[in-house]
Structure 1
Amino acid sequence: MRAMRKMRRLLAPVLCGAALTAVPAAPSAQATAGGPEHREPRWTLTVTGTDARFRGLAAVGRDAAWVAGSGGAVLRTTDGGRHWSDVSPAGAAGLEFRDIEAFDRRRAVALAIGEGEASRVFRTEDGGASWTEAFRNPDARAFYDCLTFLDSRHGLAMSDPVDGKFRILSTSDGGRNWRVLPDAGMPAAQPGEAGFAASGQCLVSAGGQDVWLATGGAATARVLHSGDRGLTWTAAASRIPAGDPARGVFGLAFRDRTHGIAVGGDYRADQASTDAASVTGDGGRSWRGAATPPAAYRSGVAWLPHGRRSALAVGPSGTDVTRDGGRTWRTVDTGSYDTVDCVPDGGCWAAGEKGRVARLG
């Protein structure tokens, strides 16, 4: 477990050599002839004015989004990325934010990762003008990776295994107060199993009850599912290769309670990532590998808001799109991104290294 945590802390510098220039693929006539669900995805980079690495991203709409990243940085835009405001919590410069969840333009909850007290949760109600530290991890054995909210009140955060089981933190008041849930309903972790704090998508939810947790590092990369807000869990093999601390499932996305996509692979740039995506149509009880997977390791994934079978997967070497629910993928952009998020009004955002944040055109 110590080895896994060390590798996770090294994740950012390992990937910094990836391509940094967004090169969107030219759309074909057929792709642009139809409605939004048929058009080729094209990222438009924004100017953030920082070189922080943003692995936390919360899209609010076409014009509004939050990002959180290295050096305690949190930024917010409300004008489509034309301007970004530095709304970092005071005194957070030594922290590593890896996830942020936003309810709207003013309310957000951010997760800083790390062993012991480095894992913290912050909350704002005024657009980041002020923050409250809502949770500071008191257990040196815990390492929190990801955060999700099922609605405006109920949220969960997950830690790597403690005493042989993943630890779940819960809030029922919008992130103001947190408590560790009992682990009686959590399956035992495999030797070396942990989560990846790479994109804020190792813990995701759909609806008011269902939540999924992604793992790697062990013999089998698994997806755990809870249908009761984190009290009881079942586990299924993801079909994404593992067997190494650098391999497994890095990101999940569910468009409803049954249809989900998992992406991952091996985050080392010199290692191939075959079978880097899988899909489920039964809520995560079973997974099947993509017939044509993404071209390389992917850390983030999101369903596109127009159409029910289109999604994007991002990673340091590019962006892939699927139009058939995750069965086949093709590369449409070679820019480096770690995470992606879309919302129903059509707003899609991606974020990654060296201050890169882009909006889908």
Structure 2
Amino acid sequence: MRRLGKTRRTIRTVRPSSRAAVAGVACAAVLALLTAAPAEAQETAAEAQGSHGAPHWALKDTGAPAVRFRGLSAVDRDTAWAAGAQGTVLRTVDGGASWRNVSPPGAADLQFRDVEAFDARRAVVLAIGEGEASRVYRTEDGGATWTESFRNTDAKAFYDCLTFFDRRHGLAMSDPVDGKFRILSTSDGGRSWKVLPNDGMPAALDGEAGFAASGQCLVSAGSRDVWLATGGAARARVLHSADRGLTWTAADTPIAAGDPARGVFALAFRDRAHGLAVGGDYRADQPSPQAAATTGDAGRTWRPAATPPPAYRSGVTWLPHSRTAALAVGPTGTDLTTDAGRTWRTLDTGSYDTVDCTPDLGCWAAGEQGRVARLEN
């Protein structure tokens, strides 16, 4: 969406069952601490770097204080990729202790808003913008070299987000072109892309578009289901496809709409049925009284959170190995739900735009002023 300027599914290696069990125990312990500790204690812990006890966001020095990172892909507790302004892509393989600048050459004028990582070596990044500013790059050697695999040549298109179902199949979405959202598809891991026919795409509402705020306006679950978040129109909607983007259905959400700055900014699905939506009004001087919603039927219907986050939120992710716990982030803080999105409470007041978790409890967040953090205790 021009006015603003993951669950995105990161493809990870399957771990042995014993490790999964250990991760599940670790997640249960962390969730117990998060649930038991009052919000004030969480905020204090988040500010005290190196403190122990309650889980908190521990900031990592990226060495890029001028960059806002809206793209984030966590591979595990040690490995994560961040993508942002000024054509910047960073990668860590040591839990954030050090970061390598692996930005594609000649990309300093681009705005990267989404990154999807398969592992420590292979990743795909999306640059947003009108016309040729929308591009896709791919690396197979940890960012040592990049290949530009797509450059938009339609002046009416503006790509916002991408997602992958597996290591081969993925989609990217553009704001409406000739009255319908445009979907780009790959079946070879991002090496090549093609525009899908729009016969199965419902008409866009007047002013409707996606928000390139966190890389989570297009997310997938399983091998075929994908959801697209919208805003800017009279109603904030979520579109769902069960056939990898060929046909879509649209559903209204209770999240605030009716203005170019309002709508659904991010989605997360823990399976093909249960999902979360967050958003609101991204303007700092405007309230967002209904900033979250839930679905239990693959997005056919959406219910407002009984106690939503207190302000606009741009990113959301489920905690691993949990059917009820999730984190939402935004410029004014991080919120936790332990009842599958019905109620939320604030854990931290730091500014983050996007968030992502991995099966081994590697939860990461990223945002303005080069901020990248990992959940630690």
TM-score for the superposition, normalised by structure 2: 0.88
| Residue equivalent to 2:148 | 133
Q: 1:352 maps to which residue?
A: 367
Q: Which residue of 2 aligns with 1:27?
A: none
C-alpha separation between the residues in 1 aligned to 2:33 and 2:374? 15
The reply to whether residue 322 of structure 1 matches residue 318 of structure 2 is no
Three-state SS of the structure 1 residue aligned to 2:211 is: coil
Q: Which residue in 2 is equivalent to 1:160?
A: 175
- The counterpart of 2:31, out of the listed 25, 33, 37, is 37
Q: 2:286 aligns with which of 265, 271, 294?
A: 271
In the TM superposition, what is the alpha-carbon distance from 1:36 to its structure 2 partner?
2.4
Matches within 5 A, 1:217-232: 217-232=232-247
Q: In the alignment, which residue of structure 1 is the partner of 2:61?
A: 47
1:295 maps to amino acid: P
1:198-228 deviations in Å (ceiling 9; x for gaps): 0000000000000000000000000000000
Inter-partner Cα distance in structure 1 for 2:248 and 2:329: 28
Aligned to 2:215: 200
Runs in 1 of length 4+ with deviation above 4 angstroms?
none
Contact preservation (8 Å) 1:275, 1:293: yes
Structure 1 residues 333-352: aligned runs within 5 Å: 333-352=348-367
1:8 aligns with 2:8: no
- Asked if 1:121 corresponds to 2:136, the answer is yes
Alpha-carbon separation, structure 2, partners of 1:193 and 1:166 = 9
Question: 1 CA distance for matches of 2:274 and 2:32?
Answer: 20
Structure 2 gaps of 5+ residues are 6-25, 35-54
Equivalent AA in structure 2 for residue 284 of structure 1: G
Mapped contact 1:316–1:336 kept (Cα < 8 A): yes
Trace 1:242-281 onto structure 2 (pairs within 5 A). 242-281=257-296
- Distance, in Å, in 1 between the alignment partners of 2:351 and 2:321 is 24
User: C-alpha distance in 2, partners of 1:39/1:296?
Assistant: 24
> RMSD of aligned C-alpha atoms?
1.0
- 1:151 maps onto 2:166 in alignment: yes
What letter corresponds to residue 50 of structure 1 in structure 2?
A
Matches of 1:290 and 1:56, distance apart in 2: 26
Match of 2:31, SS?
helix
Identical-residue share of aligned pairs (%): 75
The one-letter amino acid of 2:334's match is: T
C-alpha displacement at 1:37, in angstroms? 2.2
Give 1:20's aligned residue.
none
Whether the aligned pair in 2 keeps the contact of 1:36 and 1:306 (CA below 8 Å) is no
Deviation of the 1:239 alpha carbon: 1.0
Shift, 1:147, TM fit: 0.5
Aligned with 1:64 (options 79, 92, 96): 79
Tell me which residue corresponds to 1:182.
197
| Whole-angstrom CA distance in 2 between matches of 1:50 and 1:265 | 28
Equivalent residue for 1:79? Answer: 94
Cα offset for 1:146?
0.3
When the two structures are superposed, what TM-score results if normalisation uses the length of structure 1? Answer: 0.91
The residue identity in structure 1 corresponding to 2:4 is R
